[in-house]
Amino acid sequence: MNILNTQDTNFKDEFAKLLMRGKMDINSVEMRVKELLEDVKQQGVEALKEHIKRFDKWEAKSFEDFKISANELKEAYENLEPSLKEALNIAYKRIYAFHSKQKPKTWLDFEENGSILGQIIQPVQRAGLYIPGGKAAYPSSLLMNAIPALVAGVKEIVVCTPTPNNEPNHLLLAAMHLCQVKEVYKVGGASAIALLAYGVEDCKKVDVISGPGNIYVATAKKLVFGEVNIDMIAGPSEIGILAQNYTNAKYLAWDLLSQAEHDEMASSILITTNKDLAQVVKTQIYEILPTMQREKIARASIDERGAIIVAKDLEEAIFLMNEIAPEHLELLVENPLEVLPKIKNAGAIFIGENTPEPIGDYIAGPNHTLPTGGSAKFFSPLNVEHFMKKSSLISFSKQAILELGESCSVLAHSEGLEAHKNSVLTRLNKI
């Protein structure tokens, strides 16, 4: 894990490399993903059976074999040990409460001339959730994707998740039961995105697909966008920490490692104004690594994608972090509420030493499906509106068309659109 100093002659080049962390090489897998998508689109169940046999190492005899019944979900929930069931319910309630505050409302505006303008907001009918299940299963991701859809009012929620060796994760199934999911398929990767986007047999196509995944899933979502809507194209997990002198070095080390253990491609970046703290944190990280169950993954991430930056002052540190635009940002500074308005780009912001990033992953309430790779500059966290659509409403009275029709026809004429112009003028009795 390199320690970079903004005063070093090669800092600009090294920092530029950090900013490129989110550039997944979609081009390298795009042709293969196109083939997988087309296989499912053209061959349906037969393609799914072949893909599952090859990637997940089990054989399906028919489309029914891909399904997980509502009874299986219920049984998994009922058999949870009490502490897990309690934790799952606490998370559910907090996430639901937070997202309930996001729900937009239909509105109408009645003008004096009798016209009515407004916006009608409705849920999509059918949402597809992709929940990873390769290196680990993530019940928390199920909650974070299903609950906003529930709050939005989506009637049909469909889940796809890979099940290597045909062995579903029972905590994940329990989370699905809690979220009232009734349609689940044991399909992963690009094949799952194809199933959701195109539909196969009695699995109808969805309107929107959400959920994280590897480069194949991200590429597949990109390719089916337009056929359906998608939440975002998210890459490997990442954390940025902005720290000053007083910060506990052990806290920083564990927080950086909390992202590194996700994936070899995860990014953990600390920016501090204290070079001594930088060195202590690095030492702590390499002392902790040998004790971790996922040491190999975390070490690869820290060595290849981790960095500690020593900035000359807090203003420079803030500027650099805004350039990085991290998925998760921990703000461990002396006056965080004064610094907060200066933070322009971050998926989620964690304030104070008692708010480690994993609190946001599981229990706080805000969504943990966040923009990565610098896309926090223009993307937002997954939210209720991802599962809703808006229709504009326009109703003109006779008085309104008389007041505004002439100006409308002038604009239509200026664009050379005769029928547009005459459509209005005929209502003014001018043609």
Output phi, psi for 10, to 5 deg.
Answer: -100, 10
Q: Residue 323, class by beta-carbon neighbours within 10 Å (0-12 exposed, 13-18 middle, 19+ buried)?
A: middle
Positions marked active-site = 327-328
- DSSP sequence for 84-130: HHHHHHHHHHHHHHHHHTT----EEEE-TTS-EEEEEEEE-SEEEEE
Q: Annotate 94-128 with b (16+ C-beta within 10 A) or e (fewer).
A: bbbebbeebbeeeeeeeeeeebeeeeebebbebbb
CA angle 261–376–278, rounded 5-degree value: 50
pLDDT at 20: 87
Instruction: Report whether 262 belongs to an annotated binding site.
Output: yes
Residue 367: C-alpha distances to residues 98, 143, 221, 308, 357 (Å) = 9, 9, 20, 27, 12
Instruction: Report whether 177 belongs to an annotated binding site.
Output: no
- Taken in order of first residue, the domains within the chain and their CATH numbers are 2-24+236-364 (3.40.50.1980), 26-234 (3.40.50.1980), 396-428 (no CATH)
The single-letter code of the amino acid at 129 is: L
pLDDT tens, residue order, the chain (431 aa): 999 999 999 999 999 988 988 676 778 899 999 999 999 999 999 999 999 999 999 999 999 999 999 999 999 999 999 999 999 999 999 999 999 999 999 999 999 999 999 999 999 999 999 998 765 678 999 999 999 999 999 999 999 999 999 999 999 999 999 999 999 999 999 999 999 999 999 999 999 999 998 889 999 999 999 999 999 988 889 999 999 877 799 999 999 999 999 989 899 999 999 999 999 999 999 999 999 999 999 999 999 999 999 999 999 999 999 999 999 999 999 999 999 999 999 999 999 999 999 999 999 999 999 999 999 999 999 999 999 999 999 999 999 999 999 999 999 999 999 999 999 999 999 98
Instruction: Report whether 415 belongs to an annotated binding site.
Output: yes
The residue written with tokens 């194209």 in the block is: 233
Distance CA 56, CA 134 (A): 9
- DSSP sequence for 4-49: EETTSTTHHHHHHHHHTTT---HHHHHHHHHHHHHHHHHHTHHHHH
pLDDT at 136: 66
Query: Helix, strand, or coil here: 181?
Result: coil
Instruction: Report whether 81 belongs to an annotated binding site.
Output: no
Instruction: Report whether 13 belongs to an annotated binding site.
Output: no
Distance CA 337, CA 348 (A): 15
If we measure between CA atoms, which residue out of 301, 304, 305, 248 comes closest to residue 272?
248
pLDDT at 326: 96
Instruction: Report whether 361 belongs to an annotated binding site.
Output: yes
